[in-house]
Structure formats: C-alpha cells, structure tokens
Structure 1
C-alpha cells in the first residue's frame, strides 16, 4: 500500500509542476492591451510626423506608443521596428511580420511606452 501512495503522490506533483512549467514553452495567446489611463489622444496624422529612429511613434491596437528609447534594446535588428515608425503597426505587432504573436512579456513591456490613445476621425 505504501509504494502505491508514494507513486500516486509523486505522480500528482509531477503533473502539477508540468502544468506550472508549461507556461515557459507554450506560446501565449494574443491579449488585448489594457486601455490608456491618460486623456491624451493623437491622430494618425500626428503619429506620422514621428517616423525616424530618434523619434519613433507607432499606433498599435488603438494606442499610441513612443518607442524611440526602446529601439536599441529590441532583441532583433532595430530596422524591423523603424520600418513601422509613424504608422499603424497593429498587424506587424500581432504577427511580428512572421505570423507569430509577441509574448506576454512583450505586451507588458509595450505598456511602458504608451503615451496616448489613437484618435479616430
């Protein structure tokens, strides 16, 4: 009886640890970004004026982000981001241009660069 109890207990904890660790290797489902807590709003025309690596704004998911200071920190080539500066970049962000979503960590990091909501006409 004791070996059965030990086997069942060990199996239970292995399953629990497996579920906990699965977050590390399973891709995160795309999540809606939280709303901006500021009352500022910029139009897409205003975003378009910020299209250089030193002044890089993007509209993603109805929000406006200033990613100028993030460009040197981006894990891949900054030119990937620069191509989307001054533009509506939601499709690029959601697919990373390769059909893969950004991670939950990237979503959390993006919120640090949010400056306004996107004003629609």
Structure 2
C-alpha cells in the first residue's frame, strides 16, 4: 500500500510531522552522528508525550470548560510544578534551588505585609 498524500504539496506543507527544511525546530533538529556528519533527529520524546497526555486526562473535565487563555495558563502552571516535583524526586539541585527561591520570595512577602500592619 502506498501513501496517496505523499505527493500532495498542500499536505506536505501543512501536515508533515517531520519537515526537513528547518521550519519546525521544535519537531526536528539537526544533530551530529559519531563521525560528525549532520542528520535530522526528532526533537521530542514521544513516550514522554504519551505519559503527559495520560496524566492530563484526569483534568479533562476542567480543561474542556476553560477559555483558551485560562487553558494555556493552567497547563503552563501544571507543567511547571510537575517538572519541579520530578526534579526534586530525582535529587537534582535545580528543583531544590527553585523551591528555596520560592521560600525566599514567600518570606519576603510575609515580612513586607508585617511591615504594613
């Protein structure tokens, strides 16, 4: 069986999940092999995408009712905190540094509200 859309210019331009012209750097990047020769490589991990989608299904009822702006904000915040939790579980200093920075900000905010009283 052959792909009927392979020669369709419109489909190649707008539906190609892996363009090799550099137009989608978030999908395809140029990497170097062991001999230093450039080759095209997927810039994302599909397994991680599947896991993320499975995690987000639990929030689908909430997400369906949101405006586009609220949806983008909530997804951004959820991913930020999810990444922070994962990094701290891995023992990576980045997650711990972020947590300590937030604690410092919280302490500064508390002291500023105490000064106002």
Normalised by the size of structure 2, how large is the TM-score?
0.21
| Higher CA-based Rg | 2
Normalised by the size of structure 1, how large is the TM-score?
0.21
More helix by percentage: 2
